[in-house]
Amino acid sequence: MRSIRGTDLRGSRRRRTGMRKLAFLLAAPLLFLLPGAARGAACSPLDCAPSQFTLDHGTLLAFRAQANKPVTVVDLRTGEKRWTLPAGLVAGDLLVHQSSRTLTWYDTSTGQQLGTAGLPDVEYSLGGLSQDGTRAIATRWVHGNTSIAVVSRTSRKVVTVPGVRWQIDALSGNNLFLIHSFQQGGYEIRLLHLGSGRLERKPLKDPHESGRIWGVPFSRLASDDGTYLFTLYIGSNGASMIHELNVRTATARCIDLPGTGDYGSAATWTMQQSRDGRTLWAVNPGYGRVVAIDVLSRKVTTAFRIDLASWNNGTTPASALSPDGTQFALADGETVALLDLSAKKIVQRDPAKKVIALGYAPDGSSLWHFV
């Protein structure tokens, strides 16, 4: 059995730039899943969901060791485990699990099963969800075509797209975003109008960039309101960028991140969005970089350096942003570091082995470490 640990942060708001040594608090013992592989391993666009998700307006946290592992849900008010759900895709407060031809929806905020629906054939594989989780998207490659089934608990629609083995990026309303991976490298995003089945001829792209996205899609974060998908791409040279997709307006922008020359360091980028949705924070312990991006203007508004010597570059950090947006927590499986965003420096670093998820209490008084 393993346990949850928490850092008591009461009083830290009064002493943000000079935090005292913080004691660990021990909560009820829980059984957790250990990572089966380094979380820095590259993933496809279909599997780039983050390893943890805040639920129910920040009162719950769901996390998993890998994309194909069960999901544990904990109460951030107490640090205690609430329930475990089967492996599946998560969007909004919903999880969808596939077993053969059957899709099952779960409410992650209550742990209850909501209902099921059937796929057209057992060969369909669950590949994505709508931004609110109510519709599942499954694909099947047959006779040189990609068959796409969009399934809810009450309806089903099948669309066939010829010629390319498409993957699913996102679905919002009538906008279904597909991804084509080129054999020679790079990715292209195309918009399919679900109602008519019409595929846009030109790729969705930043007007100032090529239609092909280079690098490996490494991690992805969805905004709480479902409007945006932020996907981190890493190049073989260690350069990185964030692809910001507005799923409602079907527009995309690419935002370059600082740092190059080391792939291991690039793999330590981690993203969190502020509670008001206006700012996307990207932090990289390997390169020692912190960037704040204005989501609406898609511009970097703040950038500074931090010093995290001897950071473990073998894993992508677990991270969390405090409810008031003043503190960013990171864990590398060996230590937990606290970054004061106002002071622009690391103010605390404690040993905390095997931490795979982090979460702040809704009132910001504790930082829970899940191991």
Going from the N-terminus, what domains does the chain have, and what CATH number goes with each? 2-87+166-370 (2.120.10)
Q: What is the pLDDT of residue 315?
A: 75
SS (H, E, C) the chain: CEEEEEEECCCHHHHCCCCCCCCEEEEEEECCCCCCCCCCCCCCHHHCCCCEEEEHHHCEEEECCCCCCCEEEEECCCCCEEEEECCCEEECCEEEEEECCEEEEEECCCCCEEEEEECCCCCCEEEEEECCCCCEEEEEEECCEEEEEEECCCCEEEEEEECCCCEEEEEECCEEEEEEECCCCCEEEEEEECCCCEECCCCECCCCCCCCECCEEEEEEECCCCCEEEEEEECCCCCEEEEEEECCCCEEEEEEECCCCCHHHHCCCEEEECCCCCEEEEEECCCCEEEEEECCCCEEEEEEECCCCCCCCCCCCEEEECCCCCEEEEECCCEEEEEECCCCEEEEEEECCCCCEEEECCCCCEEEEEC
- Note the pLDDT tens digit of each residue in 307-365: 999 998 877 889 999 999 999 999 998 999 999 999 999 999 999 878 889 999 999 99
Which of 350 and 210 is assigned the larger pLDDT?
Answer: 350
At residue 6, the pLDDT reads 58
pLDDT of residue 316: 80
Q: Which residue has the higher pLDDT, 110 or 28?
A: 110
Q: What is the pLDDT of residue 32?
A: 24
Give percent of the chain above pLDDT 70: 86
pLDDT digits (tens, 9 = 90+) for 48-80: 444 888 998 899 999 988 778 899 999 999 999
Residue 312, pLDDT score: 87
Q: Sorting pLDDT into bands at 50, 70 and 90, what band is 8?
A: low
pLDDT at 35: 26
Judged against a pLDDT cut of 50, whether residue 30 lies above it is answered with no
- pLDDT computed for residue 108 by the predictor: 95
Q: Is the pLDDT of residue 122 over 60?
A: yes
Position 1 scores a pLDDT of 24
Give the pTM: 0.85
pLDDT at 26 over 60: no
Over residues 177-189, the pLDDT tens digits come to 999 888 677 889 9
pLDDT of residue 346: 97
Q: pLDDT at residue 17 above 70?
A: no
Mean pLDDT score of the chain: 85
> Which pLDDT belongs to residue 163?
82
Please tell me the predicted confidence (pLDDT) of residue 47.
56
**pLDDT interval class at 11 (50, 70, 90):** very low
Q: What's the pLDDT score for residue 150?
A: 97
Give the model's pLDDT for residue 187.
86
Predicted local distance difference test score (pLDDT) of residue 102: 98
Query: pLDDT category, 14, cuts 50, 70, 90?
Result: very low
More confident residue, 47 or 231: 231
Q: What is the pLDDT of residue 218?
A: 87
